A and B are shown apart, each in its own frame.
Chain A
Amino acid sequence: MAYLLKGVSILGAAPTDLAIVDGVISDKAPDDAQVIDATGLVALPGLVDVHTHLREPGREDAETVETGSRAAALGGYTAVCSMANTSPVADTAGVVEQVWRLGREAGLVDVQPIGAVTIGLAGKQLAELGAMADSAANVRIFSDDGFCVADPRLMRRALEYVKAFDGVIAQHAEEPRLTEGAQMHEGEVSTRLGLTGWPAVAEEAIIARDVLLAEHVGSRLHVCHVSTAGSVEVLRQAKARGVRVTAEVTPHHLLLTDELAAGYDPVFKVNPPLRTRNDVEALRQALLDGVIDVVATDHAPHAVQDKECEWSYARPGMLGLETALPIVLSVFGEKWDLIADRMSIAPARIAGLTGHGGDLSAGTPANITLVDPSARWVVDPAELASRSRNTPYAGMNLPGRIVATFLRGEATVLDGKAVK
């Protein structure tokens, strides 16, 4: 199927026509191309998420590769990197290939598995990183996300080892001894609510250590879900020194604060926790400055019973795929070049996904997101495609509706609806 997007604005530029033929962007559409009136719509390179939890295998009651892929496509994504904390853990070639194959079968986005750094995420012994890299899944990002690779020697070895195949370690930065029993950001609100605090320094100390380790061994480091103003300063200095470090921030850390814990509704419980207004401001500035490279969702579906309970017993995490672009739009406005870079181009580069994050020029793979920036919508958890309902944005009126998503020229979303 060929498409002609008529009157589309590429990254906010003057309206033009954009043709999709045989999976690539083309100068000219054939006569039988399906014409889409794209007046008022903005085309972006398909979004890429470097941090997604798809829950399969193991927690198919919360999400599957297929339902998560559908949520991703509806959110404008053409590729997602699925985290390794499944059950069994994605710490072998077998499991990463299984997830990769499920992604292909669903066919809605490219599902790029992330491999665990250590066996069973236990932080004791390296998983077979090379086998995962050499597998059909072609793994390049490794992460124990959910847990920090806290042992400094193990972290050093992991950073060094993956150089052989241009891998990167994505660190969930959380010094575990400083966060035992932690429930929310440590500060005024945690004191008032009587919930054990998760101090900012527990994140900052690990990032500071890891940039030094990465510098020492000359390796690449990626920092997951940066959440504090102090972390931004550590990263700013490291980057100025030329350390090969990249970092992500989630939409929720760009918008929400710890005050939301006041009603003890665990829909606002997430790890790292929601921080203060000051942190939110610093993270926004860091994304603008490029100190933080990408927006990543940390999409974390959870079954109802894991959220409809006491705060301390609830699992941390929030849905993110279907709301990420609208949140970023609401925070930064229509800065299309910034959005394309931080949500597509830079994440594709970090993940080594060469077919993604293109410039929408003729001859490049047609991975495209079509957005209506003037449309507003109210988030209704029941309407989301994810199998879970744990969105912190319920009832919020957000700008920006995904009209269509194309994966290598095939529409995965048309008229705001998933095609399959």
Chain B
Amino acid sequence: MIKHLRSAADLDAATATLILDTAAEMAALSGREVKKLPALRGRTVVNLFYEDSTRTRISFEAAAKRLSADVINFSAKGSSVSKGESLKDTALTLQAMGADAVVIRHPASGAPHRLAEWVDGSVVNAGDGTHEHPTQALLDAYTMRSRLGRLDGLKVAIVGDVLHSRVARSNVLLLTTLGAQVTVVGPPTLIPLDTAAALAEKTQVSYDLDAVLPDSDVVMMLRVQTERMQDSYFPSAREYSRRYGLDMRRMRRLPEHAIVMHPGPMNRGMEIAPEVADSPRSTIVEQVANGVSVRMAVLYLLLGGK
């Protein structure tokens, strides 16, 4: 087993599949009366959050607690972090506390890589800057597999601000590793140069959402921040929504079996219409539930739980 999960690129197909299979077992166990497993009793998991992300933190916290780990939440607010303590000094503190795993969310790309040099425990990337969010990609893959029965050969469109999206990067890497065919879709300003060369050679690029939809098994809508308008990535929210938003008209272009995903939080009316988000094709609520099982599997496997 790998020691850290800093990037979806840390996972080969066998390891990723093991995590998904383990997550399925975790989900089955969690469904029972007794929600706690003793697997990580006596182990310490630190949630080190430099960004507000209640949903991700709660998901990791629930995962660790269901495995009976001791959980320490170390958030930027109200701790020495906000007083300007360096990541290295914080790492040394966590080291002294005997952290077996550190789950880190950080606004700077690569912060988990730095942290891994300074602590002995496992490092789990819970979102770093505009880089990656590998457990999100794992829960997305898990959701696709449970809805559609497979990942190999699946056609997945990832739509929106790929340039700034850690969800997109991790998904392109992981889904390609697992045999899916990924197309990234968005305005050229938000699709990074050399996407295929940079991430996965098989990745396709399209600027035309309508053309991609009829041949997609999965369409994943990314959150688009309206502030990007100020930097001239697109002219207006209205134009963005018209060209790249998923509304009912566009959803009808999808094949019958196709699903609609969104990592949340959504801008309803911007990248996704409310009636699409709430439709039976939408997996958005499932994604949240699956997040806990997948994170249980990650912590369990990284920490060598028995």
Interface string of A156-195 (1 = CB under 8 A from B): 0000000000000000000000000001001111111111
* Separation of A49 and B130 alpha carbons in the complex (Å): 38
From A35-43, A303-311, A342-350, A358-366, give the one contacting chain B.
A303-311
Closest Cβ of chain B: how far from A123's Cβ, in Å?
22
Is A377 interfacial (CB 8 A cutoff)?
A: no
Interface string of A284-327 (1 = CB under 8 A from B): 00000000000000000000010011111100000000000000
Q: Are B128 and A191 in contact (CB under 8 A)?
A: no
CB pairs A–B below 8 angstroms (10 shown): A186-B193, A188-B193, A189-B198, A190-B192, A191-B194, A192-B169, A192-B199, A264-B114, A309-B114, A310-B87
* Separation of A250 and B110 alpha carbons in the complex (Å): 26
Q: Are B193 and A310 in contact (CB under 8 A)?
A: no
Closest Cβ of chain B: how far from A213's Cβ, in Å?
27
Q: Are B108 and A188 in contact (CB under 8 A)?
A: no
* Separation of A192 and B192 alpha carbons in the complex (Å): 9
- Choose from B111, B130, B169, B198 the contact partner of A310 (Cβ within 8 Å): B111
- Which single residue of chain B is at the shortest CB-CB distance from A195? B109
* Separation of A323 and B62 alpha carbons in the complex (Å): 52
Is A263 interfacial (CB 8 A cutoff)?
A: yes
* Separation of A192 and B109 alpha carbons in the complex (Å): 11
Give the residues in chain A near B197, CB-CB below 8 Å.
Answer: 188
Q: How many residues of B contact A (CB 8 A)?
A: 24
Closest Cβ of chain A: how far from B127's Cβ, in Å?
11
Interface string of B181-201 (1 = CB under 8 A from A): 000000000001111011100
Give the residues in chain B near A196, CB-CB below 8 Å.
Answer: 130
* Separation of A194 and B197 alpha carbons in the complex (Å): 14
Give the residues in chain B near A309, CB-CB below 8 Å.
Answer: 86-88, 114
* Separation of A232 and B128 alpha carbons in the complex (Å): 36
* Separation of A361 and B194 alpha carbons in the complex (Å): 54
> Known contacts A191-B193, A193-B131, A194-B128; is A264 also within 8 Å of B109 by CB?
yes
Give the residues in chain B near A195, CB-CB below 8 Å.
Answer: 109-110, 129-131
Is B113 interfacial (CB 8 A cutoff)?
A: yes
* Separation of A195 and B193 alpha carbons in the complex (Å): 13
> Known contacts A264-B110, A310-B114, A312-B108; is A191 also within 8 Å of B192 by CB?
yes
Interface string of B162-181 (1 = CB under 8 A from A): 00001001000000000000
Closest Cβ of chain A: how far from B131's Cβ, in Å?
3
Interface centre among A194, A197, A264 (most CB of B within 10 A): A194
- Choose from B108, B131, B169 the contact partner of A313 (Cβ within 8 Å): B108
* Separation of A355 and B20 alpha carbons in the complex (Å): 71
> Known contacts A194-B128, A309-B86; is A188 also within 8 Å of B110 by CB?
no
